[in-house]
């Protein structure tokens, strides 16, 4: 599941995941509130989560998703300058992070690592 308020970022991540033979996108959200609701409905194996979104940010969404599912696999996707928020997200349960702007190979590698660790 992809969560980002920017459509172009969601589309870019979706394109990268589309090249993976071990993953597929089953849902998208543009804010934290929709992300939590969609997570509860879909129970995805992995979530990419933007931190800075209007109204209900990624940190709150991570906290709420982790309350619902302590084993959730969340990867933060956030811009440079968000280091403190990334640390906070990790403390709340995020498994890894990808800094924007990102390289396709980095996204692929991190998603693959988090998903493979889940299955082991």
Between CA 31 and CA 34 the distance in angstroms is: 6
Q: What is the pLDDT of residue 82?
A: 72
The superfamily (CATH) of domain 2-104 is Response regulator (3.40.50.2300)
Residue 10 has a CB neighbour count (10 Å cut-off) of 20
User: In terms of Cα–Cα distance, which of 41, 31, 36 is closest to 10?
Assistant: 31
User: Whole-model pTM above 0.85?
Assistant: yes
Classified as helix, coil or strand, 103 is coil
Contact 53, 77 (CB under 8 A): no
Between CA 29 and CA 1 the distance in angstroms is: 8
pLDDT tens sequence for the chain (120 residues): 999 999 999 999 999 999 999 999 999 999 999 999 999 999 999 999 999 998 899 999 999 999 999 999 999 998 867 777 889 999 999 999 999 999 999 999 999 999 988 655
């Amino acid at each position: 599941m992809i969560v980002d308020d920017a459509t172009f970022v969601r589309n870019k991540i979706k394109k990268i995941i589309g090249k993976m033979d071990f993953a597929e996108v089953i849902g998208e959200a543009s804010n934290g509130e929709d992300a939590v609701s969609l997570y509860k409905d879909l129970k995805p194996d992995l979530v990419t989560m933007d931190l800075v979104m209007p109204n209900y940010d990624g940190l709150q969404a991570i906290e709420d998703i982790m309350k619902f599912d302590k084993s959730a696999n969340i990867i933060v996707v956030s811009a440079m300058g968000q280091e403190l928020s990334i640390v906070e997200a990790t403390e709340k349960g995020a498994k890894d992070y990808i800094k924007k702007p990102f390289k396709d190979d980095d996204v692929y590698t991190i998603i693959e690592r988090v998903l493979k660790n889940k299955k082991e």
